[in-house]
Structure formats: C-alpha cells, structure tokens
Amino acid sequence: MCDKLLQLPVAAIVERARVNHPWQEYQWRACGVVLNPPPDVHGKVRLHEGDRTEFFAECDPLELHAKEVEGYMVNLQSSHPGVWIISDPDYHDAEDHLPLAVQLITVSAYEAQEYLDADDLNVDVVPLPPALHDIVQDFVAAQPPPEPFRKRRNKKLDMEEHRFGQEPIAVLRQRMGKVK
C-alpha cells in the first residue's frame, strides 16, 4: 500500500538584489529551495556577493498528495522540471526583516497554474533539485495509475409538449399518475 501524503521539510532561498530604480532600492525574489533545512534558519544569510544577498525563508513543508500525481508527472516530464515558490509581496511584519512571506512551495504544474492565474501573489519557478526530483519520482511511481477518462452518457430527457390553454402541466401529471 502506498502513502497518500508525503510531507518534506523545505526552506526557500530568497534573493535581495540592488536595482537601479528611483522608487525601489532592492528587488526581492525566490531563487531556490533547500531540502531538510537546519532549525531556526529563517532570515539568516546564505550567501553574500556584492550587491546580491541570499536569505533562508522558512515555510510550511512541501506536501505531495496522491490526488496531484498527474501534475507531478507533467512537471517531471517537462524539459526543465521546476519548483514553484508562491510568496506574498505585500507582507509586513515588524519582527521579520524579509519583506515577503513564502506561502507555498509546490512541484505540481497544475497547482502552480492556479496561482499563476491570480494577480495578488508572486510565483517564482526555480530548477528542481536532483534530490527532490528523485523523491517526487519515487512518490509518483508508488501511486496507482490514474483512472482513464470516461465520458459520461447523458440520459434522455422526457419532454412532454404542453400547449397553451390546456390545464397546468403539474395538474396533468398528477391526474396521469406520474407525480405523487
């Protein structure tokens, strides 16, 4: 029997890069994912190079659901498998120096599409790390194959013709014994 849900501890890597813009000093974006991050890593500097600094951003675990297997397969079969990092750019917390909050990390192409259609959140796609690629591939292989699509047949509708001037159709059906 296979597991229907697998939770993986992850952290996003967010980048702060200096930009030449009159109203904005820095641009923030997600640029990577770390599997099994150390505890209390949120907000710590990962890398500092010139005008660019990378920070760790903690988030909820990455969840793999059996119902999303088709979305994972689409991602794995693409030419560039990725991880989608959904973040809130309007996040403000006085105690947190990161100006964005990672809401979700997903490897399902279908789930990511739902967030790409929305305008209020940032969606960054980063390459799928090899270790995570193997875990997702093993999870997909352990699931039963999805059921093939079967078109539902429509039932014939019994339409009685009702003409103007006749008794109401509800009364007619009661009298004929069709409705009780």
pLDDT digits (tens, 9 = 90+) for 135-159: 999 999 998 877 788 888 877 766 6
Hey, which bits of the chain come out as E strands?
Answer: 5-8, 10-18, 26-35, 45-49, 52-58, 62-65, 82-88, 101-106, 122-127
Q: How confident is the model over 11-44, as pLDDT tens digits?
A: 999 888 888 888 888 888 888 999 999 888 887 7
Measured at the CA of 133, the angle between CA 131 and CA 139, to 5 degrees, comes to 105
Distances (CA, A) of 127 to 5, 32, 48, 139: 23, 7, 21, 19
Residue pair 85/132 in contact by the 8 Å Cβ criterion: no
The helix/strand/coil state of 174 is: helix
pTM above 0.85? no
Domain ranges of the chain: 5-142
Q: Looking at residue 117, what DSSP letter applies?
A: T
Distance CA 19, CA 136 (A): 36
In terms of Cβ atoms closer than 10 Å to its own Cβ (0-12, 13-18, 19+), residue 74 is middle
> At which residue do the structure tokens 């813009």 appear?
21
Distance CA 175, CA 168 (A): 11
The helix/strand/coil state of 168 is: coil
At 91, is the pLDDT very low, low, confident or very high (cuts 50, 70, 90)? confident
- Element containing residue 85 per DSSP (H, E): strand 82-88
Distance CA 30, CA 58 (A): 12
At 178, is the pLDDT very low, low, confident or very high (cuts 50, 70, 90)? low
